[in-house]
Homo-oligomer: A and B are copies of this chain.
Amino acid sequence: MDNFVFQNRTKIIFGKDTENRVGQETIKYSNKVLMVYGGGSIKKTGLYDRVMKSLKDAGVEVIELPGVQPNPRLSLVHEGIDICRKNNIKFILAVGGGSAIDTAKTIGVGVPYDGDVWDFFTGKAEPKETLPVGTVLTIPAAGSEASNSAVITNEDGWHKLGLTSDIMYPEFSILNPELTFTLPDYQTACGAADIIAHLLERYFTKTKNVELTDRLIEATLKTVISNIPKAIANPADYNARAEIMWASTIAHNNLLNTGRIGDWGSHNIEHEISAIYDIAHGAGLAIVFPAWMKYVYKEDVSRFAQFAKRVWNVDDNFFDMEEMALKGISALENFFSSIGLPVRLKQAGIDDTRLEEMADKCTQSDTVTVGQFKKLNKQDVINIYKLAL
């Protein structure tokens, strides 16, 4: 186990009707907020009205920034920063999924910074302060509601990059599983792939002696795997939705990577797909992760055998752990297929014409390697894209 520092201050308010507490939580920070959200879905479900009422009842003035899209855009972040500065706004509330939250977090670090907020993503500068951010979560997937990171797409070149800083943990996040009842099945499935990917990025490590976090990750994986089919079969199954929602937060709140180095290669490889083709991040991960696994499992067959046994109940085969490893990978791929996700690029309508371009962006013209479990160069990334065709 490696040395580590862990601190996650986000207050989680979990359960039925909890969105009605957003006003009383928000007023602790400011009586004027920027509310960031997507399109019409929160209006259609009535969530918008309930949030606005709670804020109004608490005496909070709201300035709105709608229009967040999946794979959220830098241009909207710039717009939000301008609004906050012009209106002297001191708190940002995201209502939605990871895209709304990442937009809010990025506006938060952008407001007090003199330069372009994109500098933080390219590594030109580090964020030193932020406006506080709160969230009302509607999609269990990204884990951004209790994480210290955000992912933004710069339309100028369609670069999709992540930013991590401990000042970016939200102050509070409100998680009501009922708000996820209206998610379309495909979005529930994409969320599952994102949650599972966050767990697997942490699981596949070269760090030795990480038994506790291994077991905690396996526990969370098993819970997601057992509850996603229930939520798809019965979208209003509160119990299944609650397990998934809490798992999505725990998968990405940085507890499960304490003392170990994660991989994150599959995320980088996927980001180039969704940046160019604008497919759902979760769908991209369902395509990339099994391919990545097939490409790298020989780096540590024992770890893949453990994954197969403990997560998928694959029979022990002490004479051929490679067989176990491959069965585990197949089990994951079959699971993604069973919940309606693509597991090949062609199922998402993507052919081989831009593989090299994506691999080039992913490895910055082959000047960096991607991932930690196996450090991948440009040709490795191309090979993985090809395995995923």
Contacts and interface: CB of A to CB of B under 8 A. Distances in A.
Contact of A216 (B16, B216, B226): B216
Contact of A12 (B5, B208, B211): B5
B9 A13 contact: no
Contacts of A227: 211
A239 B1 CA distance: 7
A7 B7 contact: no
A369 B273 CA distance: 60
Interface residues of A, number: 39
A25 to B, nearest CB: 10
A107 to B, nearest CB: 24
Contacts of A10: 7
A378 B223 CA distance: 39
A212 B220 contact: yes
A246 interface: yes
Nearest to A222: B215
A1 B15 CA distance: 8
A350 interface: no
Contacts of A2: 15
Given A14-B259, A216-B216, A220-B216, A211 B4 contact: no
Number of copies: 2
Contacts of A246: 1, 212, 258-259
Q: Which of A7, A208, A215, A226 has the most CB of B within 10 A?
A: A215
B219 A14 contact: no
A51 interface: no
A45 interface: no
A6 to B, nearest CB: 5
A142 interface: no
A247 B259 CA distance: 12
Contacts of A223: 211-212, 215
A353 interface: no
Contacts of A122: none
Contact of A5 (B11, B226, B258): B11
Contacts of A243: 1, 209, 211-212
Contacts of A18: 3
A247 B215 CA distance: 11
Interface string A199-221: 00000000011011001101110
Given A216-B219, A242-B209, A255-B255, A14 B6 contact: yes
A20 to B, nearest CB: 12
B1 A258 contact: no
Q: Which of A2, A14, A227, A258 has the most CB of B within 10 A?
A: A14
A250 interface: yes
Nearest to A6: B12
A379 to B, nearest CB: 36
Given A5-B12, A6-B12, A14-B258, 8 more contacts: A5-B14, A6-B14, A9-B9, A14-B259, A211-B243, A212-B219, A212-B223, A218-B219
23 contacts: A1-B239, A1-B246, A2-B15, A3-B14, A3-B16, A4-B12, A5-B12, A6-B12, A7-B9, A7-B11, A14-B258, A15-B259, A208-B239, A209-B242, A211-B226, A212-B223, A212-B246, A212-B247, A212-B250, A216-B220, A242-B259, A250-B255, A255-B255
